[in-house]
Structure 1
């Protein structure tokens, strides 16, 4: 909520009658104004603002014949909000009775060529938020030049541009207040960072993928070696399980070991037949007299 300086803060004159309060159902939004003095002398101090408000009230009441200063609320460059007619009282600043019944009126205390300060914009957003709480359908924010039946340059180019950028809209952040050049610079920065990040990610993924491929290839080789060894061992076991018992593991004929004697059987006392004259080579056999070779 905005803290509003009372009318006594600028020593306002009492109003001379007035049009009464706005009708909630008719209000469409708020209109932004400026004094339009044509001067470039800034009005920043509290005393200077109070003096200016008294002067505008005198002009509106004494010269224009209006009931009071025309606006509802004023906001200065320091971010101070000044109560003029008040948000509920119909303004006399928008151009004619119909427009005054459909819109409120907020005065920005700006001089020719002056940019609204961050404090002014922040307080104006607060005033607009308060206005919308009273008039829920009054969401529009328009420059005076957009609603006045007759042409006007109010509220000046800087304020008009701020309205177009949404800088007086409740919820707007000052971080969003960027010139086109700043926006382009930010866009270029984001694009450069995005490309750099994409390149870094690509390189990292290539490194990681290369490491994964190498590790996978090594695992495959180790698996194949282990699998081949295991398969060979299983194949050998299968071969030797079906091999003749007369073969040793290395493939040489096995030597049968003699069977152990049966302790319950009589021993075999028979002897094998022995040849008293074993075969001898012919050249070593003894010669007989009757068999002398003839000459």
Structure 2
């Protein structure tokens, strides 16, 4: 829960004695509210300015002793402490209703931004659970319109409340293997892992897409490389043996050996490749 204390958002001191009135009994539950006026979303670093604006309207415009809500939730999911868990709110309509339930405001309006963001719904859910666990509050959940003649908290929030205020579903990650055939997966794995030695290649414990054929191709490549090397060495030995005893100079011997190695590498490379493709 991203809780912003009163001191952190710059709350004014509440007026005494009414601003310090405690709840006299356990709260039944939580009521959700909206602003009831036009609202435009804003950068998070200005949300505390707006919360101070709400407090000023309630104290200076309405003549209340403090901001009326227990908590305020911005569109970024931060929960601002209003009157908090222990001081009676003044937002639910009358003293009996205020005494009965906590009041949690979501910063959305009756026009402009009217639908809460996913982050805001998560923040509101955090506030509800916080009230239940720490208040304490019962499990009842509703909107301002429950028990009081108002359109608050607006249809989008009220529908969410009536659905039980669920947390938004996390976006589903796209399956990278969706639509791929077994051959596609094999080809992709082989392209990535073809250089691995057989004794170090990943197995199903570390790569569930690794196929047994990958080992065979890996081994085949190793055999091909060794065959080319052995053939080249053999050609070099034969060329050297033929030239050394014939009295030819050193440069001629070296040239003959290099040509024999090159011819052997090309021949074996072609033979092995053709065998793999057949």
Q: TM-score range by the shorter chain?
A: 0.5 to 0.7
- 2:147 paired with 1:147: yes
Moved over 4 A (4+): none
Q: Mind listing any 5+ residue stretches in structure 2 that lack a counterpart?
A: 172-278
Q: Mind listing any 5+ residue stretches in structure 1 that lack a counterpart?
A: 178-295
SS of equivalent residue, structure 1 residue 122: helix
- 2:72 paired with 1:78: no
SS of equivalent residue, structure 2 residue 138: coil
- Alpha-carbon distance in 2 for matches of 1:173, 1:4: 17
Shift of residue 104, structure 1, vs aligned partner: 0.6
- Alpha-carbon distance in 2 for matches of 1:29, 1:14: 26
Q: Which residue of 1 aligns with 2:21?
A: 20
- Alpha-carbon distance in 2 for matches of 1:57, 1:136: 25
Indicate if the aligned counterparts of 2:115 and 2:157 stay in contact, CA closer than 8 A.
Answer: yes
Q: Which residue of 2 aligns with 1:175?
A: 169
The one-character-per-residue Cα deviations of 1:239-275 (angstroms, maximum 9, x if unpaired) are: xxxxxxxxxxxxxxxxxxxxxxxxxxxxxxxxxxxxx
- Alpha-carbon distance in 2 for matches of 1:11, 1:81: 14
TM value normalised by structure 2 = 0.56
The residue correspondences of 1:219-234 to structure 2 (distance < 5 A) are none
The residue correspondences of 1:1-295 to structure 2 (distance < 5 A) are 2-17=1-16, 18-25=19-26, 27-37=27-37, 39=38, 41-113=39-111, 114-136=114-136, 138-148=138-148, 151-166=149-164, 168=165, 172-175=166-169
Q: Which has the higher strand share?
A: 2
Indicate if the aligned counterparts of 2:32 and 2:103 stay in contact, CA closer than 8 A.
Answer: yes
Over 3 Å counting, the alpha-carbon distance change for 1:154 and 1:173 in structure 2 is closer
Question: What is the root-mean-square deviation in Å for CA atoms of aligned residues?
Answer: 2.0
